[in-house]
Each structure stands twice: as structure tokens, then as C-alpha cells.
Structure 1
């Protein structure tokens, strides 16, 4: 099993939690760099979000995972 397969397995069912963690980490990185790399940080955040399924809210009837 490759590391990518292992990561996918770990993330499955926890996409929203991962997105929230990525957002928090991106905000901290942006703050620590004084906004110098905002564009690059936003690009990375967007690409990770795309890999996790975009920014759609859960479908009606689906529950979000509790934090």
C-alpha cells in the first residue's frame, strides 16, 4: 500500500475535519509569514480542497462528522 493510498484511507469520512485543519494551518502560515506568501498558501489550500471534494456542503440528510 502506497502512502497516498494510506492517506486516502485516513481521510475518507473525515473530509470536513481535514478541510478545517487545512484552513487553520493556512491561516497560521499566512500570519507567520506576514502575508508574504498569501497567494501560494491560498493556491495550496484550494488544491487540497479540490482533492477532498470541493467546497460543497453535505447533501441533505447527510451528517457532518463531529469535531
Structure 2
């Protein structure tokens, strides 16, 4: 797989790798895993809230708008 980045994205990745003391490849892999973990954790929490909290849909909608 090839990752094509704009010069600005490459600079950001270079800075991230430098801050982590890693290669750009490892920094990209870590960023992907971290993003997936956040997304999956958010989905798990949202599903739990739907199951447990009555009227969660309205609350979830308000939270999403506030994040917006």
C-alpha cells in the first residue's frame, strides 16, 4: 500500500514521528490504531447508553451538535 500525502500532511507526519521518536511509518500506524480505538470506544459507549438510558437519542443528538 502506498500512502500519498500533501506536503503539509507529510510535514505533520514528520513532526508526529519526531515527537514519538519513531519512523513516519510507525507514527502513521499508531495514528490509525489510535483513531480506530477512539471510534470503536465511542460506538461502544453510544450503544451502551442507548440500551441503558431512556431518551438517549435526544441526549446523543444534543451532544453531537455541541461537539459540532
Q: What is the TM-score of this pair, normalised by structure 1?
A: 0.39
Name the structure where helix makes up a greater proportion of residues. 2
- Of the two, which has the highest radius of gyration? 2
TM-score by length of 2: 0.39
